[in-house]
Structures are given as C-alpha cells and as structure tokens.
Chains A and B, each alone.
Chain A
Amino acid sequence: MDAILLQILNGLDKGSAYAMIALGLTLIFGTLGVVNFAHGALFMLGAFCAVSIDKLFSMEMVALSATETTAWGTPLEIRTLYVEAWFGDFGQWLNEWSVLVSILLAIPFMLLVGLVMERGLIRHFYKRPHADQILVTFGLAIVLQEIIKAFFGANPIPQPAPDALSGMADFGAAVGMQAGAVVYPMWRLVYFLFAAAVIGAVFSFLQFTTFGMVVRAGMADRETVGLLGINIDRRFTMMFGLAACVAGLAGVMYTPILSPDYHLGMDFLVLSFVVVVVGGMGSLPGAVAAGFLLGILQSFASMNEVKQLLPGIDQIIIYLVAVVILLTRPRGLLGRKGVMEA
C-alpha cells in the first residue's frame, strides 16, 4: 500500500513534467498547426534560466591569496559571493532561493524567446508541409542546445533546491496514515503543486478570458474567426509565447530534480510527442491526462514485482502503452478527427 502510494506520487511528479511540456506542444500545434521539434529545447532553455540565475547569484569576488598556492603552482584564490557582499543577508537569501527567483527571469525571457521564434522563423512555415516544419524546428533545437553547450559545457550542472524545501515531507501523516510511512521529498510535492497551478492557470486563461475564447475558436476554425475581422495571427503569436513560457517554467522548476545539461531537451522531446499523440492531437485536456497517465504507468512498471514478472518492461512501458492506446483509440485519448491524420 505504502509502496503503491509512493509510486503514485512518483508518477504524478513525472506526469507533471510530461503534462506541462505536452500542454505547450499542443498549444502550439492546436493554434498554429506547427509540429515543433524545438519544444524540448525550450524546456532546456528554461532549465538554463535557473542555471544562469544561480551562476549570477553565485558569482564570486576573487582575491588572490598571498601565501597559499594551488597544486599547480598558481596563487590560491579566495572567493566571496558578490550578492552577499552587496546585499548582505538579502543576498544570501537570493542565493538560497535562486530557483524560485529565476522564475521571474524565465517568464519574460521565455516569452521573448517564443515571440522571436514565432515571428522570426515559425511564421514562414505555417503553409509548408509538416516535414519542413520538423526539419527547421529540429535544426533550431540543435542550434539552441549547441549554444548552451558552448556556454555551459556538457556536464550536468547541479541546482540545489532551497534548504527550506529540500527536506522530506511526511505525506502519509498529512493524509491520515501512520507517521513516517510515506515520506516524500518536499520539492517534488512543490513541483506537482506548481504544475497543477500552471496547468490550471492556462486552462482558466483559455476558458474565462475573451482572449482565450478567441484562441479556442481559432483552434477550432481559424478561417471563420479570421473572417470576423479578428486578428487571430497576433493572438496565435502570443500563444506561442505562452507555450514557450509553460515549457520554460517546467524546466526551471525541474532543475533541482534533474541536474540540467544541454541535452535535456532532446531527452524529453520524443517522450513529449508520445504524450501529445497518446492524448490526442489538438486536445489540451488529452495532453494533460496522457502526461499523468504515462507518468504513473511508468512508475508502476518499474516496481520490482512487475519487473520480475516482465523483465525489461520499465524500458518500454511508455511506448507499449502508446501502441495499445493508438490501436484501440484511433485518435488517442481525446483527439479530434482529421487533425494530422493526412
């Protein structure tokens, strides 16, 4: 029971990341009809927003020691944090909470990246075959990750969670079980709540604002909305920015769970496409549902009991589920007819 509950938590956590990436991917696909292979790279860029802020806050004043030397003979460097030197305790606080602080940077930055990407590149590919869209966005993904590699190297870069949130939470006690039976890392719970909030915000934005209503109408029938004299294009550009933002935020908050490196985006790319398609092309609730479903199934498939029964099942579970769902439900969980079927 405890084990199962823990695996559900694991699954929700994984699912949070999958769902947020897939949500953004579906937004772009649903509004613009563009297959965006650079979406994983946006997730990675978000993660590196956190890295940059952390680096910025950990920038050190360097003074050379007069007496000590390093093993290779140069004078030893004595380092102090700039933020601490400048802002004292507040600086220390900034350094401590850099992951959350970097959200503030990530939102405008990712928005900007999204807008520039859409206006500068993707816009020219709306009427082009999907194959061309794949090629150009894949090219862009490579370029983005190589730029990151040139600046940050290929090694993963650790991003500690703030101390206050890095301990274990007694989840079992909170839901009325015996104390200590189900303890779970606090940050992972934070991540899940954060994902829920972001997903909720996107849905309510689309549901309750006029902007969102127009976008939804445009997703269903772009031409008609265009005929009504509404500049749907500009709204779609904004949606691209929003999608980039969601991916970026998912990336920022994921850094304490997974030390980011430049290749992070590619690792998530294939998976997020599977999630989107299993959810059904063009369906936002489908993408979210599929994200959580696959996350939880992946967790269960990794349990020792299951692995002993079916060796290697945890290696293929995601793909196996995708095959089964696509064969039983031709358009995924909640897909619409005629979208990306030709």
Chain B
Amino acid sequence: MTRPQSDLSLIEEGDTRPGRSYLSEGWTLGSWLGTRDHKRIALLYAASITLFFFLGGIAAALIRIELATPQGDLVSADTYNKLFTAHGVIMVWLFLIPSIPSVLGNFLMPMMIGARDLAFPRLNLASWYLYMLGGAIVLWALLAGGVDTGWTFYTPFSTMFSNSHVVLALVGVLVVGFSSILTGLNFIVTVHTMRAPGMGWFRLPLFVWANYATSLILVLATPVLAMTLVLVAVERLFQVGIFDPALGGDPLLFQHLFWFYSHPAVYIMVLPAMGVASEIIPCFARRPVFGYRFMAYAILAIGVIGFLVWGHHMFVSGQSVYAGMVFSLLSFMVAVPSAIKVFNWTATLYKGRISFSAPMLYALGFVGLFTIGGLTGLFLAALALDVHLSDTYFVVAHFHYIMVGGSVMAYLGGIHFWWPKITGRMYSEAWGRLAAVVIFAGFNLTFFPQYLLGYAGMPRRYHSYPEEFQLLHVLSSAGAVTLAIGYLMPLGYLAWSLRYGRPAPPNPWQATGLEWQAASPPPVHNFAQLPVVARGPYAYHTD
C-alpha cells in the first residue's frame, strides 16, 4: 500500500490542487500545442500515430489487393514499389517505433514511478514537434512522387539507381530519428532520477523496465542510423560513395551500419509490447507476475543481446561465412530470454482468477502471436535454412507476427487497459472483445499463409508472381480485409466512448500500479502528494 507523504514545501500550492484533471486545463489549440504535460503530449502522439497508422494501412490494403491476382494489373510496378516502401517507412518509423513508448510510455512512466512529469517536459514537447516535422517531410516525399527503394534503402540502388525522392525521405527519417533519441534520453533520465521514495529498481513495474531498455536502444542505436542515412544522402547528392563499389566503396558496409540500428529497432518495437503484456496479464489473472526478477533480467538481456545479432540479415549477402556463424549463434541466444518471458506469462496464469476483459484478450493474443513469430525466427536464425528462406514471404510473415501480431496487439491492449485512466471514460466491453477476436482471426488469416508461401519459394517485394502462389495470396488478402475491419472497430467504439462512455472510476480493474492511485483522468501533476512506495508491483491476490 502506498501512503501519502508531506514533503512538498518546495512546491507551490497552485500546482498541487487535486481534482483538476489534465483534460480540463483548457481546450484551446495553444493549450495543446504548447503543453509540457507528459499526458497531453502522449495524446498528441496518439492522434498523430493513429493518422500515420491508417496511412500506412491504406498502402498495405493496396498492396494486398494488387496481390490478389498473379498479374500485376491494379497498379504499375513502379507504383507497387513505392507502395511497399511507403508502407514500410510509415509503419516502422512513424508508427511502430513511437507507438508504445511515446504514447503509453509517455503517459504512464512518470505515474508508474511516482513522478509529476518526465525530467525534461520541454524536451518532450520538442520531440513531438521533431516527430511531426519528420513525418511531414516523409509525407512530402511520398506525395511528391514517392520513394521506390524499400524501407531498407539498400545501396547502390538507393544512391545511384533509384529515380525517386530518396534524399527527402532520408531527411524525414533522420529527423524522426532525433525525436526518438530525445524521447529515449528523457525516459532514461526520468527512470534514474525521478523515482518516488521507496521505488527501488526491483519495485518498478515491468512496463517501466521495458521502456527503459527500449530507451537505451533508442539512444545508442539511432544515431548510427542517422549518420548512415547522412552518408547515403551525401553519396546521392554528390555522386561519390563509400557504399558504392563503382567508386571504391562497399555495399555491405551500408548493410552492417543499417542493421546495427535496424535490428535493435525490432526490439524497440517489441520490448514495450512485452511490458504492456506484463502489466495486463497479472491484473486480469489476479496474481503477481511469475518470476518478476527473471522477467526484468530477460528484458535487459534482450536489449543487450539485441545489439549483437544484426548480421543475421546478411547471411546470403556475401558476408564472411565465419561472421555468419557468430551472428547465427548470437541470434539463437537472443531467443532464450524471449522464451523465458513467454513461459513466465503462461505460468502467471497458473492458479490465477482469470477474467477475460478486452485488454486481457489482446494480451493473450499478443502472447500467442509473439510465440509463433519468435519460434519462426529460429528458422531464420538457422544458417542453412535462412539461405532458402531469407527475402521470401517467410520473412515477411515472421516480422509481421512480431511487429503487428506482437506490438500492435499489445499497443491496442494497452490502449484498452489504460483507456479509462487516460480519458476517464469506459468503452463498450462487448465491442472491445469482439474487435480483439476479429483482429486475432484476421491477422492469422493474413499472415499464416505467408509462411507457406515463403517456404514454397515466393520472394518478397514481387509485384507479380507465378500462378501457383495465387491461392495463398487470395487467402492472405481476404485476411487483410478482416484485419482492416478489425482495426477500424476500435477507432469507432473508442471515439464513441469519449462522448457517450460511462465515467470511469479511478481504478476500474482493481489494478495495483501507482498510476491507478490517481484520479481518472489524472490531475495535472499526477499526484497531489508524491507517494511513498513500500512494496513491489503486482501485489494481486486471487481471493
């Protein structure tokens, strides 16, 4: 139990008036665009990433419609290439990477550790502006004619051969990259310096651990990407090249530098998702998470080992065979902590008192899909098999299971779980459950056939394909329609709840985190008096 403490002499009275929610602070444009409140900034992020999610989704829908028939008949090959590039760039940099950290992390981390805000509120707002600026530049590049390099920008195609707006897109991604660096910096400093009295490291909720590990990756890996993109842009602009063999460079150098960021980036996307699941599952199983310390160590282990495995994207690239062996071994090792987490979530259900509210359905769906995605990763980590499977639909299916089945599922679960806290309203439980089931089914129908396609030899990024693959492509496209409906449903009923939902009590799920101690929606500085923490998280009881 937390107990109030009265060590607030240095804080002015006006800021701690309880009861005034952060939403009632004004609805003028200026009150939002100039806010430094982490909760309002989180909502700014939520609105913008939702926009980008649906933009990326439109590109995905067009891709799936095109692939329903073997002939490339809906759009031209160039348009198709620009569509999958737009889909990748938007979904990776403008949706997945900021999704859970910048929305849920921003809103919840200070509350979970018992702080009034992040350490640098103005920097936090600046991150959002950088993100919007970068997003706008990327959109500009896409509207001005598009980019056809794929989100990976492989050289020398991107430097010498593509005739599209590569430099503009690079600049956009670069700016978004700085936004994530600053967010990561803010989180790291906040977790280190602003924990409430009594909030030791092993009393932190796993969501905080996950976002902390994510922030480390953001801060240490993103700059490498930024510099690499600068070099690509320089090559393209001045017709010189350290990545271009025609000018003495090495394209594999680009791949090393690119994947040094972009593999850890997968963990940027999935670690926070693991954090969300680790909050939801204990709450609805009414019991403490099984093996808390192992879970925390596993998060750190994934974050660290995640830095060492990037070469598994390059097994057939002409990389040295020995380097391939090292990277393969390390890739198997990173699967161990992931496996630990899955087992621990399952064990958390044992002897629980499980109720199946919408957030729980999303979280269970996350565990299932993440398990499949993770296990198929082993196929790709096994060197000889990767020779057959890399750059096929097997890879496409694998990372969609992790990034969509994993991250998006958990993101939606988190949105549902904390919706009452964020908005002060309850959504319709029945619709929530229905949407979770539709999304789960639609997702599997979309992406499971792609595993089979990949093993059968269907290469990725193909605008047209041999007829024998059509059956599975049609199944996948049908699944995509279901999935699209599933994603539109929450948009509808959550928006509806904003106006017509029943007011939420402070703690509708009887959860134990510090964020549930505050009112719903929380007051401006979260806590009238800073809490003192006297025990670890997840103090649930089955009775």
- Mutual binders A and B: no
